[in-house]
């Protein structure tokens, strides 16, 4: 977990013992700090809804992160608005390192990818939501006008600049 989470929402083992529903949103200050951390132009909504329950060795949380945000186009830097709805199913378990050390070979299944260490007697569901958001972001957002803008600036498209473009030009010329 981050040393100074922007959006902390702690849930203890005692809270999760009988199961609980959590629903919360980041305030303007937290959204601004998260936007800076994730290099977003703007984050206008970050909402979390989750069912949290105790499981053997820790806490399970299943739910959804909803966000309204603006990223920078990877090609032009122009704003690219996006809506995000990311589901999560997380297990925060004690001694996950000890379990891994007991087995000579560790095979990771899809379920295992969402296992996190339980630190103490609580989890930070807000920080988990920010991490879920970061994983759901488009790594190369593209503005709808990016190709046109780049062409106007003389930047060749991948098709026009690639190795097959030269072959296509040769195909149209008569053999000498």
State pLDDT tens for residues 49-83. 999 999 999 999 999 999 999 999 988 889 999 99
Residues in a beta bridge with 35: none
- pLDDT the model gives residue 169: 65
For 163-167, what is the mean pLDDT?
65
- pLDDT the model gives residue 158: 60
| DSSP code, position 135 | H
Q: Is the Cα dihedral 113, 115, 119, 122 positive or negative?
A: positive
Place of tokens 């780049």: 150
Place of tokens 């069912």: 51
- At 30-55, the pLDDT tens digits run 999 999 999 999 999 999 999 999 99
- pLDDT the model gives residue 2: 44
For 13-30, what is the mean pLDDT?
95
- At 76-121, the pLDDT tens digits run 889 999 999 999 999 999 876 655 555 555 454 555 558 888 888 9
- pLDDT the model gives residue 162: 62
Q: Is the Cα dihedral 147, 150, 151, 152 positive or negative?
A: positive
- At 127-159, the pLDDT tens digits run 999 999 999 999 999 988 877 877 777 775 566
Q: What is the pTM of this model?
A: 0.77
By C-alpha distance, which of 56, 62, 57, 58 is closest to 20? Answer: 62
Q: Are 64 and 87 in contact (CB under 8 A)?
A: yes
By C-alpha distance, which of 13, 95, 112 is closest to 54? Answer: 13
């Amino acid at each position: 977990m981050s040393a100074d989470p922007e959006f902390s929402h702690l849930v203890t083992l005692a809270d999760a013992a009988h199961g609980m529903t959590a629903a919360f949103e980041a305030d303007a200050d937290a959204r601004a700090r998260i936007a800076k951390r994730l290099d977003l132009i703007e984050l206008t909504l970050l909402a979390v809804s989750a069912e949290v329950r105790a499981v053997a060795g820790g806490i399970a949380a299943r739910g959804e992160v909803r966000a309204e945000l603006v990223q920078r186009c990877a090609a032009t830097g122009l704003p690219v608005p996006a809506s995000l709805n990311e589901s999560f199913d997380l297990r925060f378990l004690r001694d996950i390192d000890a379990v891994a050390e007991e087995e000579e070979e560790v095979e990771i299944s899809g379920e295992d990818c969402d296992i996190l260490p339980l630190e103490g007697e609580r989890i930070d569901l807000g920080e988990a939501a920010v991490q879920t958001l970061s994983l759901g972001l488009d790594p190369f957002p593209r503005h709808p006008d990016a190709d046109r803008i780049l062409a106007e600036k003389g930047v060749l498209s991948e098709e026009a600049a690639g190795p097959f473009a030269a072959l296509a030009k040769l195909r149209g010329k008569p053999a000498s």
